[in-house]
Amino acid sequence: MNSFSKISILLFVLGVFFNSCSNDNDRPYAVNGILNITDYHLNQDIIKLDGKWEFYWNRLISPEDFRKKKVEESIYSNVPGIWNDLTEENSSISGQGFATYRLQIYNQSSDSEFGIRLNRINVAYKLWINGDLLAENGKVASNNEEIIPSRKTTTHYFNADSDIIEIVLQLSNFNQKNGGIENSILFGNEKKMQTSGKRGMALNFFLFGLLLIVAINHLILYKLRSDVTSSLYFSLLIFSITFSFAISGNHNITSIIFSDLDWNILMKLDYIGDYLSLFFFLKYISSLFKEEISRLTNRIATIVILTMILFVLITSPAIFTYTVILSYIITSVLVLYISFVLAKAIVSRKEGAKQALLGTFILAIAILNDSLNNHLIINTYYLLPYGLAIFIILQSYLISFRLSKAYQYSVQLTDELDYFNENLEKLVKDRTSQIEQQKEELEVQSESILVANDEIIKINQILEGQSVEINKKNKAVTDSINYAKRLQEAVMPEETLLKENFPNHFIFFRPKDIVSGDFYWYGEVDSSWDFDESNKIKIIIAADCTGHGVPGAFMTLLGHNFLHMIVNIQEVVDPEQILYKLDQLVIETLKQKETGTMKDGMDISVLTVDEDKKSIAFAGAGNPLFYIRDGELIEIKGSNFGIGGVLRKEKIYLPHKIEYQEGDIFYIFSDGFSDQIGGPDGRKFYKRRLKEILIENHKKPVDEQKEILNKAFEEWKGDKKQIDDVLVMGIRM
């Protein structure tokens, strides 16, 4: 269905709606119980007896009482209308009770045969025309025990020779919320009324039959295609709409099909039919657009609707008729939600969403119009038959279109299968030829693989022999390095010696490989002439040699030997002099002046401790000194010149003297800790973080400080490799 068709249908419905809302000023209207139709031609049209009728609350007045003038002054009530909205003597009138309506028609027509139609009055009534009892529906009574309610649309014919036609209508209601005449009473000449009645009956039965045919047709479609549940729910929706149409419409289908059915059951069926229509409408939309509709909302709506149906079943009309407003609210909310779901489907470009939304919109307008009309808010024509017709056409088109596409797809698959069957023999031959060709290729490849496999076996045998030899050599090298490690550890100062001279110290030493390029050294020199041990000068050194592993380890051995010569033999105790002599020995031993290319050497920190004078002398070649006093970290930088290597300018190593206090703690170290790569961004640890750790933990015991440094290093390194040897020494004075 193209856009033009949709717009045409929408404009047609809106045109009918607004046209029906227009007031026809030529129609007669009753004023204060009198309807003047002397200037109106009844043979041309049927009129509505709308307007102000005389109204007598809680009084059942007969025409005889009016003739004898035994009637008190009346009030006036709108017809159509309900008496719940009226007041008498400043008090509201209840919907349950009894009353008498009276209207006098002034007529000068030459006709004497008339008809009057009472459209679906849901209460018991008696009708008199000019004093003669013309009709009785149910049993009118002044109490709940004697009343027999009834609901029928009936047309009655009578003769009237006088110019004034008096209509007296007694009503009683004790069985539902609203009392009164809720639909227009029609009046006209007998022939016109009979013709109109027959046409209305024919149209209503035509619509009734058409709805049944559509419902049965879609039920058969579901039987043929049980996987298409939308056909089932649409069929049930049409069945429920047909049922409601037969029960509640302003026609005689109810009187013919349900003539002997109890009034209470008819009222229940009326409400249940509406709720079932709403329920199956929700299920129908859910089956079409499963992805767009919320399962939770679907369940809640289902529970609410089924609860309302159960409430109608277990209560009487005197109770459940008070839920009309609630049912309108539920319907409005559900229609808005379904419209939202269909809008989502349109945005998602789901097939049929536009037709479904258009049909829902048209049906909602028709239902809204008829609901407002039933509650006397507006006075229009009933549009539900037209809205239903367009809704059913659109939805039938939608389901048929989907089934047609499924059928076309099935036909396409059938054609493909037929083509495949017709060409199966040729396909088998072609495939057999391909397989034979592939077999020949595989045989050639298999021979090549066998030859290659023999070559691989020979190569593997050679590699296995080489692997055994490599493993032997690797073990020999590893054993040699492990032996070198033991030698390196042997020349390091013993822990007992350091503990004896510096009780509060720690050494965090972590080589990168088996042997290390970092080392620490300790020596003593007697500074007194009488060899008093209490006057010993203690020298503690932390050194970082060029490289790591085996090359670095060789440099550490040179460093140990040179320091032993300088301090223990030559008894040099000034830290800057130790550095000068060490630099000279490294350059001479490695012949760096002759080659001019070797840059091997070391960065080193030298501390000399004179406990008698409570002083420390420091000199550094490339490495600094940290010490903390009263919570403040002080850094003394070493010289920019390392040990070893040939420079064009003279090296200078400056001495620094510190008068230490009890509790001061001194740190010397290599650059391995601060240069370690790690952390969340893969950066260096840097001296800044090292300073923060030392300041934060300097008051803690030295052994605990060592563990803290180890933990910080591991966490920073993470799963990355250690890039250098690590050495950190701490001494608390």
For the stretch 472-493, pLDDT in tens is 766 766 666 776 677 777 778 9
pLDDT at 153: 79
Average pLDDT over residues 22-38: 77
* Same-domain pairing of 536 and 656: yes
pLDDT at 9: 57
SS3 call for 165: strand
25-29, 74-78, 258-262, range with the lowest pLDDT: 258-262
Residue that wins the pLDDT comparison between 293 and 484 = 293
pLDDT at 237: 83
Residue 552: name the closest of 507, 605, 485, 506 by CA.
485
Average pLDDT over residues 576-604: 84
Is the pLDDT at 662 greater than 60? The verdict is yes
Residue that wins the pLDDT comparison between 183 and 648 = 183
| Cβ–Cβ < 8 Å for 100, 170 | yes
Is the pLDDT at 20 greater than 60? The verdict is no
| Band of pLDDT at residue 726, cut at 50, 70 and 90 | very high
Domain assignment of residue 467, yes or no = no
* Same-domain pairing of 152 and 234: no
* C-alpha separations of 15 from 20, 111, 177, 677 in Å: 8, 36, 34, 81
Which range is most confident: 88-97, 352-361, 395-404? 88-97
Residue 667: name the closest of 559, 507, 560 by CA.
507
* Same-domain pairing of 560 and 685: yes
Residue 545: name the closest of 559, 533, 564 by CA.
559
Q: How many domains does the chain have?
A: 3
Residue 535 amino acid letter = N
Sequence-distant (6+) residues with CB within 8 A of 43 are 109, 111, 189, 191, 192
Domain assignment of residue 456, yes or no = no
**Cα dihedral across residues 632, 636, 637, 642: positive or negative:** negative
Domain assignment of residue 56, yes or no = yes
Average pLDDT over residues 424-449: 77
Average pLDDT over residues 516-527: 88
* Same-domain pairing of 108 and 212: no
Domain assignment of residue 719, yes or no = yes
Around 423, how many Cα atoms within 13 Å sit in the side-chain half-sphere?
Answer: 9
* Same-domain pairing of 186 and 219: no
d(C-alpha 242, C-alpha 399), whole Å: 19
pLDDT at 698: 92
Which of 408, 442, 464 marks a domain boundary? 408
* Same-domain pairing of 227 and 365: yes
**CATH assignment of the domain containing 164:** 2.60.120.260
Mean pLDDT of the chain: 81
* C-alpha separations of 246 from 226, 234, 273, 481 in Å: 29, 18, 10, 105
Domain assignment of residue 691, yes or no = yes
Task: Give pairs for 249-258: CB < 8 Å, separation 24+.
Answer: 249/204, 250/119, 250/120, 250/153, 250/183, 250/382, 251/153, 251/200, 251/201, 251/204, 252/153, 252/201, 252/204, 253/204, 253/205, 253/208, 254/151, 254/152, 254/153, 255/152, 255/153, 255/154
Question: If residue 313 lies in a helix (H) or strand (E), which one and from where to where?
Answer: helix 295-314
Average pLDDT over residues 618-630: 94
What token pair was written down for 35?
Answer: 């309807």
Sequence-distant (6+) residues with CB within 8 A of 332 are none
Residue 104: name the closest of 186, 56, 156, 35 by CA.
35
| Cβ–Cβ < 8 Å for 115, 160 | no
Domain assignment of residue 552, yes or no = yes
pLDDT at 695: 94
What token pair was written down for 321?
Answer: 């008729």
pLDDT at 19: 47
Is the pLDDT at 366 greater than 80? The verdict is no
d(C-alpha 26, C-alpha 522), whole Å: 127
Is the pLDDT at 455 greater than 90? The verdict is no
Is the pLDDT at 530 greater than 80? The verdict is no
Is the pLDDT at 681 greater than 90? The verdict is no
* Same-domain pairing of 174 and 227: no
| Band of pLDDT at residue 21, cut at 50, 70 and 90 | very low
pLDDT at 4: 37
DSSP 8-state assignment for residue 528: S
Which of 351, 378, 408 marks a domain boundary? 408
* Same-domain pairing of 567 and 671: yes
> Percent of the chain scored above 70 by pLDDT?
82
Is the pLDDT at 15 greater than 60? The verdict is no
β-bridge pairing 87-88 and 656-659:
unpaired
pLDDT at 22: 43
Sequence-distant (6+) residues with CB within 8 A of 553 are 484, 485, 488, 515, 516, 517
| Band of pLDDT at residue 301, cut at 50, 70 and 90 | confident
* Same-domain pairing of 53 and 89: yes
d(C-alpha 593, C-alpha 693), whole Å: 42
Domain assignment of residue 283, yes or no = yes
Residue that wins the pLDDT comparison between 581 and 74 = 581
Residue 187: name the closest of 262, 127, 257 by CA.
127
Residue 681: name the closest of 720, 725, 722 by CA.
720
* Same-domain pairing of 64 and 207: no
Which of 345, 378, 408 marks a domain boundary? 408
| Band of pLDDT at residue 229, cut at 50, 70 and 90 | confident
> What range defines the domain where residue 124 resides?
31-190
Sequence-distant (6+) residues with CB within 8 A of 685 are 673, 674, 675, 676, 678, 679, 713, 716
